[in-house]
Amino acid sequence: MKKILFYTLLLSGTLSPAILHAQVEPDSLSLAKNEFQEDFYEALKQKGIENYDKAIQSLQKCIGKEPDNPVLYNELGKNYFSLRNFAEAERAYLKATQLDPKNRWYWQGLYDVYYETKNYNKAIPAVLKLMEWKKDYYQEDLVSLYMYTQQYDKALVLINEMESTVGMSEKREMYKAQILSDSRYKKPQKEALEEAIKKNPKVEATYLELIYYYSESNEEAKAEAVAKQLEKEIPGSDWAQVSLFKFHIGNNDGDKASESMFRVLGSKKIDSKIKHRVLNEFLIFAVANPKYAPQLDKAVGYFEDDRNVNVAKEVGKFLYNKKKFADAAQYFEKSLESKPDDIEAIELLLYSYADAKQFDKLATKAAGYLDLYPTHARLYYFAGVGANGQGQFAKAKKWLEEGVDYVVDDKDLEAGFKKELATAKNGMAKTK
């Protein structure tokens, strides 16, 4: 009853101006008003329980009474869209936008239809209309639409504009690479960029395009010179450091590469994926140049709050695969500080201790983690390996005999238990 009262008030206040002002008999007015409200409420109810065909029937009755009400066509569009009848949905949304062109949500519905049907040419005018309300929100969509419709000139102009206002993103970088790989954009682009820098040396985006052009053309010396010019003209440019970092790494200059890397990692303008890429390049460099391990450790600290990737764990895996087991263990320890119940990181840490022959740490950590996972067979195995490695054979035998009962369908682990048990028993026999 409360719902009916609510929709009665809603409809009388917003949906039925024609009824309120029509010069008709009071009884006719009341009857028409009640029928409209009942039909509209029925449409909403049927849509709510996904009976879209019935909802459409009720809305058609409402349109018969109020043919110029945009709300009805918007609701009609929603129901047709849910039925994937996109032709009728488009027709309904178009009618709604014609009746009320200032309602953003009618344009959004129309855009959804065009995007779902991949009618990108029609989608562009809808997005341009939506940008009157939220320009920043729909700019990214417009770039993609220009790319889908091969309007590369317009896409490039918009990408450049966005680079100077909201910064770069990996997706737009990819689009720009696709555009600039076309020979039509190369030489004229280079000359235009060089001229643009002379005229206005304080526009960061122009330098970045020229750096990209030279890099793609394998003219690294020229690209580096442009990056240095950018740093000189705009000392606060974080994007200059992205390019300079690559050049410093290529020149095997770890000190300057570290300096650029920390500028990039600390920047709020630069996309997180680019920061990950920079860290990965420095990681490879630091493994080949161990004296930069402290800088690597500091760099990983920039990603402590990253919810998508446990960077410390990934660095640990890389180092483990390079057989730098002690170094890997430090990063697995760091990763467990933020997520102490990560069983994969726990096992990787214990493998690292075992391969680094840090048997005291191995036994202590494995036994400690059994409080969290008392039926995890591999923890007993590692506790036994650690105890054997320290010559504590009786303790090893106890861990191994207790843990072997938890092994299920793992022949390699079972063989490992048998081997370590034999080591423990032989050690005990020699001791006696």
Q: Residue 183 has what pLDDT?
A: 62
Percent of the chain with pLDDT over 70: 90
Name the CA radius of gyration of the chain, rounded: 33
Is residue 145 a contact partner of residue 123, using CB atoms and an 8 Å limit?
yes
CATH classification code of 358-432: 1.25.40
Chain segment 402-422, per-residue pLDDT in tens: 888 888 888 899 899 899 999
Which has the closest alpha carbon to 324: 283, 360, 365, 279?
Answer: 283
Q: What is the mean pLDDT of residues 151-169?
A: 78
Chain segment 247-301, per-residue pLDDT in tens: 888 889 999 999 989 988 988 878 788 888 889 999 999 999 999 999 999 999 8
Chain segment 35-94, per-residue pLDDT in tens: 878 888 888 888 888 888 988 888 888 888 888 898 988 999 899 999 899 999 899 999
Name the residue ranges covered by the structural domains of the chain: 358-432
* Per-residue 3-state assignment (H helix, E strand, C coil) for 378-391: HHHHHHHHHHHHCC
Q: Residue 17 has what pLDDT?
A: 37
- Quote the CA–CA distance of 376 and 142 in Å, as a whole number: 52
Percent of the chain with pLDDT over 90: 29
Q: Residue 363 has what pLDDT?
A: 92
Is residue 356 a contact partner of residue 326, using CB atoms and an 8 Å limit?
yes
Chain segment 353-363, per-residue pLDDT in tens: 999 999 999 99
Q: Residue 255 has what pLDDT?
A: 93
- Quote the CA–CA distance of 342 and 354 in Å, as a whole number: 19
Check whether 24 has a pLDDT greater than 50: no
Q: What is the pTM of this model?
A: 0.55
Q: Residue 13 has what pLDDT?
A: 37
